[in-house]
């Protein structure tokens, strides 16, 4: 049994450290948001005291905003680009970019979309994966019969390890994403997990504030990314990348451009030496929110011409079902839907539920 002191220590360990009420607005979960307001306004803990309500916090935000506007009117504050507003800034709510939106370190937050697709169908099964490395070519006697229909799900979290590394800018984030393709309907083969990809990474993200082509340049960053399927040869696939991040947004639209550089490996140990010629050398992800529906388009390419012109496109549509439960439709076409399929071209169609999206 935990004593009162232990419980207080647990609450203290998990408490957020918001820089302003704006930071609390960005939190999607109602309990987390209320806890954030409590931490900011230091609500009394006695049973007779009432907690700070969201209405009171909103009133405080409004007061701060009016004060800011008055300073601008009197030329006290110089503004050379739009000010971040967690109420409307998609990238700020995702990465805590502005000083007012900081929530402190070691707060676990959503990263990439979290979803379950019970129906995930492919137009072309990859029962005998191959690679340019002979050690990673699956032999005929190792072929596992697959169903075209399977289940796919993804989990993804991130946390900020260091905040404001360079003055009031520059945050170091640690992220982890795991996605699985499960042959749930393949009873003849004991319902195996066909492929699971593990993706830990570390990202250094900076706040920017400029205008380009009608968009607000909000983010600049660099990421060290490792991705593997955790299997032994000949099924093993893995690679390491340095990814550069450039983020733009305007109202309910966000755009992420990510070119990357692969860290080369010893040829003997390289499971997939030509992976960039299929999965590509960069990607572009566009997000658009219309009322309660979210639309995402991802494009990536090898950046080569002729027969080496390869890549992929993925379209996601999230729509409301009930409360926070949302439906999800996913369409993928091209190379590299998963690591084992990095040089396998097919179309995939998925339908299920989404728990968390990009923004």
Catalytic residue among 17, 60, 156, 226: 226
Residue 202's pLDDT is what? 98
Q: Is 106 inside a domain boundary?
A: no
For residues 251-266, give the mean pLDDT. Answer: 95
Instruction: Using the predicted structure, report yes or no on whether residue 75 has a pLDDT greater than 60.
Output: no
What CATH number should be reported for the domain holding residue 344?
2.40.230.10
Between 14 and 288, residue with greater pLDDT: 288
CA-CA distance, 54 to 285, in Å (whole number)?
33
Catalytic residue among 20, 60, 156, 228: 228
| Rounded percentage of the chain residues whose pLDDT exceeds 70 | 76
172 and 31 share one domain: no
For residues 247-257, give the mean pLDDT. Answer: 96
Q: What is the pLDDT of residues 9-18, one digit of tens each?
A: 444 445 566 7
84 and 17 share one domain: yes
Angle at 324 between CA 320 and CA 40, to 5 degrees: 135
204 and 272 share one domain: yes
Q: Is 207 inside a domain boundary?
A: yes
- Is 179 catalytic? The answer is no
For residue 307, the enclosing domain spans: 111-356
For residues 313-331, give the mean pLDDT. Answer: 95
For residues 107-128, give the mean pLDDT. Answer: 96
| Total Cβ atoms within 10 A of residue 277 | 20
Picking from 31-40, 113-122, 128-137, 176-185, which range would have the lowest pLDDT averaged per residue? Answer: 31-40
The CA-to-CA distance between both ends of the chain, in Å, stands at: 39
* Arithmetic mean of pLDDT over the chain: 85
155 and 77 share one domain: no
Instruction: Using the predicted structure, report yes or no on whether residue 49 has a pLDDT greater than 50.
Output: no
Q: Is 100 inside a domain boundary?
A: no
Q: Is 105 inside a domain boundary?
A: no
pTM: 0.79
- Is 301 catalytic? The answer is no
17 and 49 share one domain: yes
Task: Tell me how far CA of residue 354 lies from CA of 28, 172, 263, in angstroms.
Answer: 14, 27, 33
Count of domains forming the chain: 2
Instruction: Using the predicted structure, report yes or no on whether residue 238 has a pLDDT greater than 70.
Output: yes
67 and 201 share one domain: no
């Amino acid at each position: 049994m935990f004593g009162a002191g232990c419980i207080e220590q647990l609450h203290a360990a998990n408490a957020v450290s918001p820089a302003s009420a704006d930071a609390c607005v960005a939190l999607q979960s109602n309990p987390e948001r209320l806890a954030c307001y409590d931490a900011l306004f230091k609500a009394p803990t006695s049973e007779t005291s009432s907690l700070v309500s969201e209405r009171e916090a909103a009133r405080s935000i409004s007061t701060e905003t009016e004060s800011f506007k008055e300073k601008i009117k009197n030329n006290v504050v110089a503004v050379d680009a739009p000010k971040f507003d967690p109420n409307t800034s998609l990238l700020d709510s995702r990465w805590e970019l502005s000083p007012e939106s900081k929530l402190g370190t070691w707060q676990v937050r959503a990263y990439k979309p979290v979803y379950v697709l019970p129906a995930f169908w492919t137009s072309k099964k990859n029962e005998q994966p191959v690679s340019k490395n002979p050690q990673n070519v699956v032999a005929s006697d190792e072929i596992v019969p697959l169903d075209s229909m399977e289940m796919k799900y993804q989990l993804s979290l991130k946390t900020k390890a260091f905040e404001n590394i360079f003055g009031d800018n520059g945050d170091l984030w640690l992220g982890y994403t795991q996605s699985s393709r499960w042959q749930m309907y393949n009873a003849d083969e004991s319902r195996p997990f066909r492929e699971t990809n593990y993706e830990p990474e570390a990202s250094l993200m900076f706040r920017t504030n400029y205008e380009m082509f009608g968009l607000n340049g909000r983010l600049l960053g660099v990421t060290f990314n490792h991705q593997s399927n955790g299997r032994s040869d000949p099924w093993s696939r893995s690679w390491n990348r340095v990814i550069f991040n450039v983020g733009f947004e305007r109202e309910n639209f966000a755009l992420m451009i990510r070119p990357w550089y692969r860290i080369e490996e010893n040829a003997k140990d390289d499971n997939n030496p030509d992976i960039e010629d299929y999965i590509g050398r960069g990607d572009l992800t566009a997000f658009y929110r219309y009322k309660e529906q979210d639309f995402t388009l991802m494009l990536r390419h090898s950046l080569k011409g002729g027969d080496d012109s390869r890549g992929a496109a993925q379209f996601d549509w999230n729509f409301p079902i009930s409360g926070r439960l949302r439906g999800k439709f996913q369409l993928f076409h091209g190379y590299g839907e998963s690591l084992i399929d990095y040089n396998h071209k097919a179309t995939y169609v998925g339908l299920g539920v989404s728990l968390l999206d990009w923004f």
